[in-house]
């Protein structure tokens, strides 16, 4: 977003507070308000002004959930989203957070990329939006909160596995997830789908965990045999994830299998054509290629934002679903924000014009 916004951060540990401040202030247009004393914070509640609050759950004077409850009791602050950081969110924590009107709960230690991504999503919500405190994996007849929290841990662990085996930066997976969510939103898809694909998309290349080091780490051109092995990562990823009861894992399996299919039917592994390719796979195909183009690789420099969008446009109707390309292009400002907030350390010189 181009406008400025402020984040209130409350943590009684000054070291942790400084680290959180450093992470959050990297977001474009973001300023921070820091507080270690919850009593002083609540005593001056009538003077508080912020766009989003990040609260630590465990504090000696008043815990983060109680602070959130007090903030939400103020009519002027009622619609301000709140993110809670908890050591090990359990059923009781989820329940109390929901009752207090907290928008999201995330476990500690905090993942910097996840933290910044969640903040960006929350501050984009309209001020009058209803805060949704439930886990992003909640569905009708959802399992108890402790099950969804455990599922989140499993998902995070698999994303880390994918990042360790893949020669690309772990930030690639996170950026692809954000791009997928932006694209899905611009297609007008239900919020449930947008939320699910944001959490499923980081696993699009999980099948690379089953490839040999010789193929996975090779920097030069692959031989035909190596290319066939590389293409197997789609089937391997699907086999790893299929059969799950979780809606998010089912979508992740679908994306893993189909994100290299092409609109004209020349992709792999099934050579699906057009709308026979699942929508999640068509969305991920655009996001994955765009991030590969705009990132530094051992074999290439990063493309500018404009050149990458031109590539998508030129290949709409052949490689990509034209509707997905159009929806992605309409989110150009948000995409630029993600690129800047989640840039690779070695990619600082990339031209994002």
pLDDT digits (tens, 9 = 90+) for 89-111: 776 777 788 888 888 888 887 87
Average pLDDT of the residues in 156-164: 68
**What residue spans in the chain does CATH classification 1.10.3210.10 cover?**
145-347
The fold for domain 5-124 equals Rossmann fold (3.40.50)
What letter would DSSP give residue 82?
E
Pick 214 or 43 by higher pLDDT.
Answer: 43
Of 208, 218, 276, 300, the catalytic one is 208
- How much is the CA Rg of the chain, to the nearest whole Å? 21
Phi, psi of 164 (to 5 degrees): -70, -35
- CA 63/CA 11 separation, integer angstroms: 10
The model's pLDDT over 2-19, given as tens digits with 9 standing for 90+, comes to 478 999 999 988 888 898
| H or E stretch covering 153 | helix 145-165
Q: Is 208 a catalytic residue?
A: yes
Contact criterion met (CB below 8 Å) for 30 and 9: no
pLDDT confidence of 50, banded at 50, 70, 90? very high
Q: Please indicate whether residue 290 or residue 26 has the higher confidence score (pLDDT).
A: 290
* pTM of the entire predicted model: 0.59
pLDDT score, position 350:
40
Q: Where does CATH 3.40.50.2300 sit in the chain? A: 5-124
**Structure confidence at residue 299 (pLDDT):** 66
Q: Which of 94 and 210 is assigned the larger pLDDT? A: 210
Is 140 a residue whose pLDDT tops 50? no
Tokens linked to 157: 């662990």
Q: In this predicted structure, what is the pLDDT of residue 353?
A: 37
Give me the pLDDT at residue 152, please. 64
118: confidence class by pLDDT, cuts 50, 70, 90: confident
pLDDT band at 252 (very low <50, low <70, confident <90, very high): very high
Q: For 226-340, list the strands marked E by DSSP.
A: none
Closest CA to 288 of 345, 352, 234, 223: 234
Architecture per CATH, domain 145-347, reads as Orthogonal Bundle (1.10)
């Amino acid at each position: 977003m181009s406008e400025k916004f402020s984040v209130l951060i409350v943590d009684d540990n000054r070291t942790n507070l400084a680290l959180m401040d450093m992470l959050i202030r990297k977001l474009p247009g973001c300023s921070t308000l820091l507080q270690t004393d919850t009593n002083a914070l609540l005593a001056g509640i009538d003077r508080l002004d912020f766009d989003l609050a990040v609260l630590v759950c465990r504090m000696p004077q008043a815990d983060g959930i109680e602070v959130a409850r007090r903030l939400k009791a103020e009519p002027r602050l009622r619609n301000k989203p709140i993110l809670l950081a908890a050591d090990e969110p359990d059923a009781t924590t989820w329940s109390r957070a929901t009752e207090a009107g907290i928008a999201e709960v995330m476990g500690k230690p905090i993942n910097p990329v996840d933290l910044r991504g969640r903040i960006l999503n929350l501050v984009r919500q309209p001020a009058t939006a209803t805060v949704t405190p439930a886990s992003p994996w909640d569905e009708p007849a959802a399992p108890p909160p402790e099950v969804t929290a455990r599922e989140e841990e499993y998902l995070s662990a698999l994303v880390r596995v994918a990042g360790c085996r893949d020669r690309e930066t772990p930030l690639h997976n996170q950026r692809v997830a954000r791009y997928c969510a932006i694209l899905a939103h611009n297609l007008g898809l239900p919020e449930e789908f947008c939320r699910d694909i944001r959490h499923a998309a980081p696993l699009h290349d999980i099948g690379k965990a089953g490839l040999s080091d010789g193929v996975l780490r090779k920097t030069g051109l692959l031989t035909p045999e190596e290319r066939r092995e590389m293409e197997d990562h789609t089937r391997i990823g699907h086999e790893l994830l299929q059969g799950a009861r979780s809606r998010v894992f089912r979508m992740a399996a679908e994306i893993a299998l189909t994100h290299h299919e092409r609109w004209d039917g020349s992709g792999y592994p099934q050579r699906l054509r057009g709308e026979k390719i699942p929508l999640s796979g068509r969305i991920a195909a655009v996001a994955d290629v765009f991030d590969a183009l705009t990132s530094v690789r051992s074999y290439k420099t990063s493309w500018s934002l404009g050149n990458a969008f031109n590539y998508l446009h030129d290949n709409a109707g052949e490689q990509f679903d034209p509707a997905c390309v159009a929806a992605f292009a309409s989110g150009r400002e948000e995409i630029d924000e993600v690129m800047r907030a989640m840039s690779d350390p070695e990619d600082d010189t990339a031209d994002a014009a």
